[in-house]
């Protein structure tokens, strides 16, 4: 199962890397791994950052917290 996931990620990374480097280039695999690392990094940052951004947007929009007071009143 994990092998399928890795294979799918590498296929997508290969497609993206092929936009910039020919597939028969000597360093294609290095570029492909670089694309994978950048994608994993962006996904990790996005998954960690989305809840924080949502909380900031809720606070900015003026939503009240659970006890009926405005968040900036603390």
pLDDT, residue 46, reads 86
Asked if the model's pLDDT at residue 66 lies above 80, the reply is: no
Indicate the domain borders of the chain: 2-64
As given in the structure block, the two tokens for residue 2 are 């994990």
Give tens-digit pLDDT for 7-60.
Answer: 888 888 889 889 989 989 899 999 999 999 999 999 888 888 888 888 888 888
Residue 25 CA to residue 14 CA, distance in Å, equals: 12
Query: How far is CA 26 from each of CA 11, 13, 15, 23, 69, rounded to the nearest angstrom?
Result: 18, 16, 16, 8, 62
């Amino acid at each position: 199962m994990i092998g399928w996931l890795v294979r799918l990620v590498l296929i997508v990374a290969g497609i993206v890397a092929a936009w910039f480097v020919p597939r028969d280039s000597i360093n294609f695999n290095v570029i492909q791994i670089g694309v994978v690392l950048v994608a994993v990094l962006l996904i990790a940052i996005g998954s960690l950052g989305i809840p924080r951004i949502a909380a900031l947007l809720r606070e900015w929009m003026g939503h009240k917290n659970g006890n009926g007071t405005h968040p900036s009143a603390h």
